[in-house]
Amino acid sequence: MPKHTDRGLLVVHDEADGTTSLAICSKVVDGQPVNVYAEYHHAQVKIDQDVRLTKANGDRYTDDIVEVFARGAVVNVRHPKYDR
């Protein structure tokens, strides 16, 4: 289990060096993050296949809340896992 998990909407920005920057926020307006409370810069990112991203202004974002956590050198993005 990851030690720290951020939950929120996500904006994904592809960097020129081939890495990805992420902004975890409470709202997305016209593809831009609003009220950002966590960021990952120039990261290697793995996004689960079932996480749907919408394109806007060259970036991508989620309409649904996701979980974002680092495992080793990779930042992972998935739908929230709830205890049953």
pLDDT one-digit tens code per residue, 47-74: 999 999 999 988 999 999 999 999 989 9
pLDDT one-digit tens code per residue, 18-37: 999 999 999 999 899 999 99
- For residue 54, give Cα distances in angstroms to 9, 11, 62, 73: 12, 9, 6, 26
Q: Domain-by-domain residue ranges, the chain?
A: 6-78
Segment (H or E) for 67: strand 66-71
